[in-house]
């Protein structure tokens, strides 16, 4: 006979390992993109230095409704802190507001929500990165040329800011024109398809600005397949290390430049630790960027 053992939990820490004093919910927009896989890896690596934290991960798979449900689930689990990298700003704002109003400290990572209902935002300045990309485009083209801009997911704030900063920078040169600006939702395959249309529509393209490296590389591959890659320059953003990353694409001469977009994973864990220990933290932390050329 097997004796039934009934365990009754009385504390909020019920079900947590003995050494994990704090439960953290990390809601990730998706894990289909290499940059987000790198972010999660950075969080996990830094969290190893904080044995009293236990992090539970949720992958929203690029779906706003799934991400709302993920956050609601964390609230039911009574997490001590929420880290979120939101898929799109507007649809995720109300649930983050509810979590914050319920007293859960919130760290927003990389993409923003609307308003101010969070403890700390951590991310690079996308407008400044877009601006730097625009200045670089201006200088490699000598102030003259036709540009294709490939946009990220429209409801995500980096897509808006990377576009605004870029356009602001190139506006100084009346000889620069954006002749095509499709949306490819941050995805390489969608950028390839959009670039095929751009190539068909335009006999002359001097530069392609992708809001991230996967889209810039997708555009490069589409141009190469048509034998037109040498005609134009490609610029991206992210600058991930590794064989499939933007840095290698620059080294290989596929991209003329990329701009490092740090994931902030390490900083998120460190700020989480400070918040949980009731130390003062900044409301916004702006991470640095860096231009990478050959
Ligand atoms: C990954 C990603 C990155 C980009 C960031 C912007 O989902 O598309 O490539 O830099 O999101 O939020």
Q: List the structure tokens of 73.
A: 């689930």
Q: What is the mean pLDDT of residues 196-208?
A: 98
Q: Is the per-residue pLDDT at 233 higher than 80?
A: yes
- 152 & 119 share domain: no
Q: Is the per-residue pLDDT at 242 higher than 80?
A: yes
- 32 & 116 share domain: yes
State in Å: Cα 205 to ligand 1 middle. Answer: 25
pLDDT at 19 (0 to 100): 64
State in Å: Cα 212 to ligand 1 middle. Answer: 7
Strand order in the sheet with 233-238: 176-180, 145-150, 207-210, 233-238, 257-260, 291-292
pLDDT at 10 (0 to 100): 43
- Tell me the Ramachandran region of residue 34: left when phi exceeds 0, alpha when psi lies from -120 to 50, beta otherwise: alpha
pLDDT at 12 (0 to 100): 44
Q: What is the mean pLDDT of residues 139-164?
A: 98
- 53 & 150 share domain: no
Q: How many CA atoms lie within 13 A of 90 on its CB side?
A: 3
Which residue among 27, 29, 33 has the greatest number of ligand 1 atoms within 8 angstroms of its CB, and so is best to mutate? 33
Rg (CA), the chain: 21
Rounded (5°) CA angle 39-42-47: 125
Which residue among 27, 39, 158, 246 has the greatest number of ligand 1 atoms within 8 angstroms of its CB, and so is best to mutate? 158
Q: Is the per-residue pLDDT at 106 higher than 90?
A: yes
Pick from 51, 16, 30, 13: which is nearest to 269 by CA? 51
Question: How remote is the C-alpha of 277 from its chain's centroid?
Answer: 27
* Measured distance between the N- and C-terminal CA atoms of the chain, rounded to whole angstroms: 71
- 40 & 62 share domain: yes
| Paired residues of 15 in beta bridges | none
Structural domain includes residue 292: no
Structural domain includes residue 14: yes
Residue whose pair of structure tokens reads 């589409």 in the numeric block: 222
- 71 & 89 share domain: yes
Q: Is the per-residue pLDDT at 68 higher than 60?
A: yes
* Domain extent at residue 147: 126-260
State in Å: Cα 278 to ligand 1 middle. Answer: 31
Q: Which atom of ligand 1 is nearest to the CA of 261?
A: 10
Average pLDDT over the chain reads 94
pLDDT confidence tier of residue 287, bands split at 50, 70 and 90:
very high
Q: Which atom of ligand 1 is nearest to the CA of 29?
A: 7
**Pocket around ligand 1 at a 6 A CB cut-off:** 33, 35-36, 110-111, 152, 156, 158, 186, 212, 237-238, 261
Q: List the structure tokens of 50.
A: 């904080």
- 112 & 161 share domain: no
Q: Could you give the CA distance from residue 72 to residue 74 in angstroms, rounded to a whole number?
A: 5
Q: Is the per-residue pLDDT at 13 higher than 70?
A: no
Q: Could you give the CA distance from residue 245 to residue 256 in angstroms, rounded to a whole number?
A: 14
How many domains does the structure of the chain reveal?
A: 2
State in Å: Cα 196 to ligand 1 middle. Answer: 22
- 59 & 89 share domain: yes
169, containing H or E segment: helix 157-170
pLDDT confidence tier of residue 283, bands split at 50, 70 and 90:
very high
State in Å: Cα 187 to ligand 1 middle. Answer: 9
pLDDT at 2 (0 to 100): 42
- 132 & 213 share domain: yes
- 112 & 142 share domain: no
Cβ-in-10-Å burial (0-12, 13-18, 19+) of 212 comes to buried
Q: What is the mean pLDDT of residues 211-221?
A: 98
Structural domain includes residue 73: yes
- 47 & 156 share domain: no
* Domain at 204, CATH number: 3.40.50.2300
Q: Is the per-residue pLDDT at 259 higher than 80?
A: yes
């Amino acid at each position: 006979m097997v004796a039934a053992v009934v365990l009754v939990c009385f504390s909020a820490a019920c079900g947590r390992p003995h050494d994990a004093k704090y439960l953290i919910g990390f809601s990730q927009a998706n894990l289909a993109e290499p940059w987000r896989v790198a972010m999660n890896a950075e969080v996990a690596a830094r969290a190893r230095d904080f044995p009293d934290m236990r992090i539970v991960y949720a992958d929203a798979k690029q779906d706003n409704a799934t991400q709302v449900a993920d956050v609601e689930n964390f609230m039911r689990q009574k997490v001590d802190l929420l880290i979120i990298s939101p898929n799109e700003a507007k649809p995720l704002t109300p649930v983050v507001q509810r979590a914050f109003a319920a007293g859960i400290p919130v760290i927003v990572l990389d993409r923003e929500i609307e308003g101010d209902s969070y403890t700390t935002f951590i991310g690079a300045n996308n407008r400044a990165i877009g601006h730097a990309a625009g200045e670089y485009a201006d200088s490699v083209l000598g102030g003259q040329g036709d540009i294709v801009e490939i946009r990220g997911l429209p409801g995500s704030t980096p897509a808006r800011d990377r576009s605004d900063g870029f356009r602001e920078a190139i506006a100084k040169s009346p000889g620069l024109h954006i002749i095509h600006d499709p949306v490819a939702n941050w995805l390489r395959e969608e950028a390839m398809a959009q670039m095929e249309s751009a190539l068909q529509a335009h006999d002359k393209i001097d530069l392609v600005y992708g809001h991230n490296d996967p889209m810039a590389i997708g555009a490069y591959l589409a141009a190469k397949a048509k034998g037109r890659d040498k005609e134009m320059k490609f610029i991206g953003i992210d600058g991930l290390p590794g064989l499939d990353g933007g840095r290698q694409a620059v080294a290989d001469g596929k991209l003329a430049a990329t701009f490092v977009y740090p994931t902030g994973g390490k900083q998120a864990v460190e700020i989480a630790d400070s918040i949980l220990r009731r130390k003062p933290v900044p409301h916004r932390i702006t991470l640095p960027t860096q231009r990478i050329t050959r």
